[in-house]
């Protein structure tokens, strides 16, 4: 069994790591770390508010009893002895300081954006760009680390990159225009999205989000060249909005392809896209990376976010677009805190275990 | 005073006509018509559920006491004697049958789509295409009517057409891509959007809506040629979605202009666009047809739908777009049941009164 | 295996019967009936909208593939040959006509209110009043039926009756005051609760609901006397409201007991209440009929409605009340379309199978 | 004109003071105070986020241009020179320290709870307990202040106390049971209610709220005896919940009266209750303190919160209750941030100006 530490274990993403690793066949949770405030407590105490008695468990799934009595250590004092991989579920600021410390010793799979834009750091999506894992060796060598940092993509990027991949492979891409309708959980809880701001409303701006999506999509779909990645040569332009939805990002995509394409061939390419996942036997992999639903009223975030355990990206409304050359348009739903966060990071770890980058 | 009949007076749009005409300086309500079920009752009785006692008044504004004791007649038996204009707030099916009957005698300003796509019928927006009113004379002559039918645009089209107009005038347009996040009130109440379907959700399809927006935008921004309208020569492609918002449509727009343009010149063109409204003194005209808000978190439907009495279109997040030639992108909010329905129709009527098409 | 027919199979409650019976160890679905409009189609066709292609499956759980190719018959023509039990998921109006027809031949377990208030009809809740099943024999005899009709309680009654039962048994009850905050799904989909009415709102009236809760609670907690039920002798007074929640009714309860009681003894009585369920081995029975959560912020409908498969009633905030003699107060959450509808009816059927009232 | 300072001017309640005082005939805003972070800036700068450009104005009403260029001072350094009254819109913690400092010099009308429970401090509601103002003289004398502190009731108390007053006067009260369904705005914005917690949910606990309502209602409806207030001798028991509503608290009330009463006499007593408001000519007073709506589906928070400028309490569903002696039950809606906060405090100030307690 691979022995994992969860850093940021008391937050919402940390809890989702715990849920997703409960009963995992390859990985077991060996250490929990959080902020100084939680250090020295049992996990149960750490998520129980002392004054009110409130129990701060944020997942739909029941609390993971197996970890309730485990001690929580201060993240800045976590030892990596006896740990094979660190799952980092902390904000970008502390990630910048802590992740290199852990990576000096062991692999770190992170949901934070802190290292996503560095040249020797891949943004891996199993089934999309497994070859980018080669950068991890360059990273190790260049930085003199025994481990490495491999961050997952932003939760809005991941569904877009997954659905563009078969289009890029089959038809080539000139440009992509996307409008997102993002769920509240993407903003976390500190304080996240205030109810007074979002009820009966849409907020048309999420600071930094559009730049992340544009940059990451080109990097993920780029090609390894020498010691780095050449970004994919198509343009990505987007407007990211917040809507009154709990979980599940919806994206309205318009794309211009290089070769002519029709709806049927697009749907076929999406449905058949596998990217090497099918044979690999990764425990968290969805049966289909992309599900295409032909009901014109789908995908809907409430109905489709949990498809295949929240790991499938669901596509619908595939149509021709007349505004761009070889234009097509579609709508996708992707679970932002499952495939787009903890479970996605675990899937990445599984691929890296399979490929020998992480070992016990 | 111009004497008006409201057809469909008991529905939500009909009630908004009543609210918007309360105390109107030019127009007075002289007759109310609805379905057979309401005929013969006072307006108050017609909107009171006999079994439960519920009072079916749907506007935020208080009920209009002035009309509560007016009789409601069966719409199919409404006489146009003593009426100078009919405001039609009925569905497209009955509109197809009833509006020609009324138009044989008097002008009909309609919120229904029944006649929008006929060659001799303009879709007027004051401040955008007042010259299209010329078609009304052609329509009269061709159909042998004393009056005419002039339908307002679809509630999703109107904000798009208004904001594209200054871009078209100043820079020319190649193509437009739009994703809408539409309010529930656009679907009415019979049954409209069911709470179980929309809470914590986005519905990515509104039957017929995308075709309407594409077709109407090109017609509204087209040019009079001979006895008809030549559609504007740019393409419009859109995806229309429903979000959990009561009122106010939000639209994420990407446009490719013919001449190069920058953010400042776009904002300036939008702010200065007036289309002849300023001097006309129309009572329902907004002070600014387009408001540009530079707060990056705006426009928001809850905060901006009621700007200038629900008659202004609010724009924000004007930025360059890299995916299209001379690309720009922005977000707009437009009130779908004020400028996009009853009040918009009244503004159209005011323009037609001013220009002599409607008279007492 | 007990062979079941589902009447009203295409509606939301009917679909929940299908979900709950998928893989059921004792009961198999043998016939599906719905309105004339669906008759003669396969189930898949019957729930697919022909014009739009929309697939009308309303449960969170995936569609039940096993029934998709089964034929749907007209409910008024359903034959009970080869059927051991009918689950009726239709409205009260048609139930009044159809249920006696079926009951003449086989047992009918119903979610409709049509027969709830007749003297020889029990309203059974396993774990609460299993002895009331004796009325079924009286019903059979009196009406000359081979089967019987046994309706489940109203979805608002069930959680109240379950939580009052241990109080009644341990302390006696003088009176009960309850304010409900009910989910939208309780109103169904035809048209159910309109989004425009409930978003950012509370509706303080649900026609007929308060009378149902008051009457049914007294009947369920009453005692068999001779050939009928003597209603429990405490008063029930309630105000039923609708809130913007998808599923799960929340109820704020205040009760006056006959004997003095304290918080600890109330909690203990609720936790230990079993009503004969534990030993019976009914497949759908929750492990605990009542869960008491001591987190003061619980129960919450979104977090607690699915406890124990939606079959447990979750209680919290148990406190002393000063306004009534021996007053106590608490809040409960009960899943209105699981324990409060299809799954609850299946649990009742399981008890009746166990006790020999239903047999193959 | 009475010259006012607003302390806490940048928060949501402070902004509502500014809106409510715009164009006020008796009171003008002369000074603005907030936390140290805002000190030295113009009001416009203080509510503009420097990094994002976001403009933090939280009211539905447009920003008050008249104060945008006024300087904001540090609340702890505010001078009361040239000020006749301080409106305090700060949290209870800082209120405890700052309000006595101001009250040493001038009257302070506060929305904070800091001093509500002190013996020499009244909780005034015009139209309910104007005679309690006598305590202000005792307070002045006892504390040696030139001014005084007079806090408004909790936003949940106010509608309850107002509607109980005519019942108490006409029939006497034994006990009151209340379940509230409170709006999010009652929790403010720091961080207030998180969208992730409240969407599709009800939260059954608001720390401290129930004790406040019980204590304050008895104090407000108590009688002056000697130098203090004897609490009203009826018991109040409540359960306070949070629902997904922006503004407007809904309360389900059950009361036992001393004398027998019927629905008609209750409605009459509520409608006729005036408490001396009608003749007083206070600018912010509602035309009717209590509106009774006979539509069984009312009151609803979205439709009734703004009745009479948010200053009327709307009552509906008045019925007999069978669970208590002489029981009656009803539902009320009261605007928690208008009558229940800033506007309510201004109404109190108007009464105190009228009665000579505050003067220029």
Residue D2's pLDDT is: 98
In B, residues 336-355, which contact C (CB 8 Å cutoff)?
Answer: none
Task: Reply yes or no on whether the pLDDT at B9 is more than 90.
Answer: yes
Residues of C in contact with A297 (CB under 8 A): 52, 54
- The residue of chain B nearest to residue A295, with distances taken between CA atoms, is B205
pLDDT digits (tens, 9 = 90+) for A237-276: 999 999 999 999 999 999 999 999 999 999 999 999 998 8
Is the sign of the CA dihedral D19, D23, D28, D29 positive or negative? Answer: positive
Residue B276's pLDDT is: 86
Q: Among A238, A240, A249, A273, which one carries the catalytic annotation?
A: A249
Ranges of each domain in chain B: 2-152+342-354, 155-334
Q: What tokens appear for C157 in the block? A: 């009654």
How many whole angstroms separate alpha carbon B196 and alpha carbon C60?
12
pLDDT digits (tens, 9 = 90+) for C6-27: 999 999 999 999 999 999 999 9
Residue D259's pLDDT is: 97
- The residue of chain D nearest to residue A190, with distances taken between CA atoms, is D191
Residue D275's pLDDT is: 87
**To the nearest 10°, the Cα dihedral for A287, A291, A294, A299?**
130
Q: Which residues contact C62 (CB under 8 A, 6 or more apart)?
A: none
How many whole angstroms separate alpha carbon A267 and alpha carbon A280?
24
Q: What is the pLDDT along chain D (360 residues), one digit of tens a residue?
A: 999 999 999 999 999 999 999 999 999 999 999 999 999 999 999 999 988 889 999 998 899 999 999 999 999 999 999 999 999 999 999 999 999 999 999 999 999 999 999 999 999 999 999 999 999 999 999 999 999 999 999 999 999 999 999 999 999 999 999 999 999 999 988 889 999 999 999 999 999 999 999 999 999 999 999 889 999 999 999 999 999 999 999 999 999 999 999 999 999 999 999 988 988 999 999 999 999 999 999 999 999 999 999 999 999 999 999 999 999 999 999 999 999 999 999 999 999 999 999 998
Is the sign of the CA dihedral A153, A158, A160, A163 positive or negative? Answer: positive
D50 at A interface, C-beta within 8 A: no
Element (H, E) at B28: strand B27-34
pLDDT digits (tens, 9 = 90+) for A298-352: 999 999 999 999 999 999 999 999 999 999 999 999 999 999 999 999 999 999 9
pLDDT digits (tens, 9 = 90+) for D105-116: 999 999 999 999
Residue C360's pLDDT is: 87
Residue D360's pLDDT is: 87
C25 at A interface, C-beta within 8 A: no
Active site includes D238? no
CATH topology agreement for domains D2-152+342-354 and D155-334:
no
pLDDT band, residue B144 (cuts 50/70/90): very high
Which residue in D201, D303, D331 is closest to C301 by CB distance?
D201
B202 at D interface, C-beta within 8 A: no
Q: Do D323 and C177 touch (CB under 8 A)?
A: yes
Percent of chain C scored above 70 by pLDDT? 100
In D, residues 269-288, which contact C (CB 8 Å cutoff)?
Answer: none
Q: Is the peptide bond before B5 cis (omega within 30 degrees of 0)?
A: no
pLDDT band, residue B189 (cuts 50/70/90): confident
C195 at A interface, C-beta within 8 A: no
Which residue in C52, C193, C207 is closest to B195 by CB distance?
C193
Is the sign of the CA dihedral C95, C96, C102, C108 positive or negative? Answer: positive
What's the whole-number mean pLDDT along residues C143-168? Answer: 98
Q: Do A246 and D189 touch (CB under 8 A)?
A: no
Q: What tokens appear for B27 in the block? A: 């127009």
pLDDT digits (tens, 9 = 90+) for C305-335: 999 999 999 999 999 999 999 999 999 999 9
pLDDT band, residue A195 (cuts 50/70/90): very high
What is the C-alpha end-to-end distance of chain A, expressed in Å?
A: 7
pLDDT digits (tens, 9 = 90+) for B37-90: 999 999 999 999 988 889 999 998 899 999 999 999 999 999 999 999 999 999
In A, residues 64-83, which contact C (CB 8 Å cutoff)?
Answer: none
**To the nearest 10°, the Cα dihedral for A281, A285, A289, A291?**
110
Residues of B in contact with A237 (CB under 8 A): 254, 321-324, 327, 329
Tell me the CB-side half-sphere exposure of residue D322, using CA atoms within 13 A. Answer: 10
What's the whole-number mean pLDDT along residues C191-213? Answer: 96
Task: Reply yes or no on whether the pLDDT at A222 is more than 90.
Answer: yes
Q: Among D249, D261, D273, D335, which one carries the catalytic annotation?
A: D249
- CATH for the stretch B2-152+342-354: 3.40.50.720
D198 at C interface, C-beta within 8 A: no
Query: CATH says B155-334 is which class?
Result: alpha beta
pLDDT digits (tens, 9 = 90+) for C104-131: 999 999 999 999 999 999 999 999 999 9
Residue A318's pLDDT is: 98
How many whole angstroms separate alpha carbon B151 and alpha carbon B139?
13
Q: How far is C79 from chain B (nearest CA, A)?
A: 34
pTM of the shown model: 0.96
Residues of A in contact with B156 (CB under 8 A): none
C260 at A interface, C-beta within 8 A: no
Give the position of tokens 């001014």. Answer: D147
Q: Do C235 and D298 touch (CB under 8 A)?
A: no
How many whole angstroms separate alpha carbon C156 and alpha carbon C313?
12
Residue A285's pLDDT is: 97
Residue A50's pLDDT is: 86
Q: Which long-range contacts (CB under 8 A, 24 or more apart) does A46-50 make?
A: A46/A10, A46/A72, A47/A10
Which residue in C54, C200, C303 is closest to A297 by CB distance?
C54
How many whole angstroms separate alpha carbon D186 and alpha carbon D198?
13
pLDDT digits (tens, 9 = 90+) for D220-277: 999 999 889 999 999 999 999 999 999 999 999 999 999 999 999 999 999 999 988 9
Residue C53's pLDDT is: 86
Closest CA to B98 of B5, B199, B211: B5
Residue D197's pLDDT is: 96
Mean pLDDT over each residue of chain A, to the nearest integer: 96
Residue A124's pLDDT is: 98
pLDDT digits (tens, 9 = 90+) for C61-90: 899 999 999 999 999 999 999 999 999 999
Percent of chain D scored above 70 by pLDDT? 100
What's the whole-number mean pLDDT along residues A119-130? Answer: 97
Residue C276's pLDDT is: 86
């Amino acid at each position: 069994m691979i022995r994992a530490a969860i850093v940021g274990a008391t937050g919402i993403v940390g809890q989702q790591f715990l849920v997703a690793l409960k009963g995992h066949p390859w990985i077991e949770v060996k250490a929990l770390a959080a902020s100084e405030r939680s250090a020295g407590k049992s996990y149960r105490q750490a998520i129980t508010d002392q004054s009110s008695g409130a129990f701060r468990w944020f997942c739909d799934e029941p609390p993971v009893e197996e970890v309730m009595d485990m001690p929580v250590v201060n993240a800045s004092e976590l030892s990596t002895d006896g740990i094979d991989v660190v799952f980092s579920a902390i904000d970008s600021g502390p990630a910048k300081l802590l992740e290199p410390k852990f990576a000096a010793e062991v692999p770190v799979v992170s949901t934070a954006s802190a290292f996503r834009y560095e040249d020797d750091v891949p943004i891996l999506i199993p089934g999309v760009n497994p070859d980018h894992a080669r950068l991890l060796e360059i990273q190790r060598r260049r930085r003199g680390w025994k481990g490495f940092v491999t961050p997952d993509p932003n939760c809005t990027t991941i569904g877009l990159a997954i659905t563009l991949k078969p289009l890029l492979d089959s038809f080539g891409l000139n440009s992509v225009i996307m409008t997102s309708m993002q769920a509240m959980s993407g903003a976390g809880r500190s304080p996240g999205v205030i109810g007074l701001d979002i009820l009966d409303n849409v907020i048309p701006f999420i600071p930094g989000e559009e730049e992340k999506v544009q940059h990451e999509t080109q990097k993920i779909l780029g090609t390894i060249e020498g010691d780095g990645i050449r970004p994919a040569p198509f343009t990505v332009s987007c407007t990211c909005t917040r809507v009154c939805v709990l979980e599940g990002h919806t994206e309205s995509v318009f794309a211009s392809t290089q070769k002519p394409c029709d709806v049927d061939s697009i749907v076929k390419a999406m449905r058949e896209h596998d990217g090497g996942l099918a044979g690999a036997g990764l425990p968290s992999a969805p049966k289909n990376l992309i599900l295409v639903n032909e009901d014109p009223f789908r995908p809907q975030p409430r109905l489709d976010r949990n498809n295949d355990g929240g790991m499938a990206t669901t596509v619908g409304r595939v149509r021709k677009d007349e505004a761009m050359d070889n234009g097509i348009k579609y709508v996708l739903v992707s679970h932002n805190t499952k495939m787009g966060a903890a479970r996605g990071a675990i899937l990445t770890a599984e691929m890296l275990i399979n490929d020998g980058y992480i070992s016990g």
